Chain A
């Protein structure tokens, strides 16, 4: 199974500042034939289901604010929030979908400093 490891486990950032969350996979999730990274990011607020933010490592889902961006390739990926807003307080998860079992990172809790 591919193990997804996020860092840090928790993060406190001031409003308007940049937040960066990292995700590392135990093996590459880059499908060379399509040159696509099978990596997604989700946001989960308390008492709510997860919400898809990013797929193919860097493609923003429709309706997601452009302050959210994804980058990386192979085994190392990053979710960046360019200017933190109060409504961004949540737990963020990465997920690979390269092969079953599809697995998630352990989550990164993002708070306001």
Chain B
């Protein structure tokens, strides 16, 4: 079964850091680009960051997180990461890990994790 399981969320103070992990199983993780997508409470979906498949040489970020968040992957552990620094209240959201379908071109997300809640508050 293809599965993504996020972990690492929690409560953090403004200006703090957190690292999310996403454990993948049931598919050849290294072959696919991966993304993080977030959803603030009661709000819509916002793409956050993506990393290319294979070596993960190419990374992409939304302007709202550029310079503060870092995406990475460890293909030997089938795991995707999101390092979040200088967190702000507006970063409060459920963070979903999502797999690229592999169509070519930009990312269509065919597999999603259940999400990890990040709350930034003092």
- Alpha-carbon gap, A95 to B60, bound state (A): 17
Residue A71, interface by CB 8 Å: no
Main secondary structure of the interface of A (DSSP, over half): loop
Within the complex, the shortest CB–CB distance from B81 to chain A, in Å, comes to: 19
Residue from A1, A36, A49 within 8 A of B114 (CB atoms): A49
Residue on A with the closest CB to B110?
A52
Which of A's residues lie within 8 Å of B, judged by CB? 1, 31, 34, 36, 38, 40, 42, 44, 48-52, 55-56, 61, 93, 95-107
A55-B101, A93-B44, A107-B44 given as contacts; is B60 within 8 A of A100 (CB)?
yes
List, in ascending order, chain A residues with CB within 8 A of B101's CB: 52, 55
Interface residues on B, range: 20 to 34
| CB–CB B106/A99 < 8 A | yes
List, in ascending order, chain A residues with CB within 8 A of B46's CB: 104
Which of B's residues lie within 8 Å of A, judged by CB? 37, 44-47, 50, 60, 62-63, 96, 101, 103, 105-110, 112-115
- Alpha-carbon gap, A100 to B62, bound state (A): 8
A49-B114, A56-B103, A100-B50 given as contacts; is B44 within 8 A of A105 (CB)?
yes
| CB–CB B103/A102 < 8 A | no
| CB–CB B108/A40 < 8 A | yes
A93-B45, A106-B44 given as contacts; is B106 within 8 A of A38 (CB)?
yes
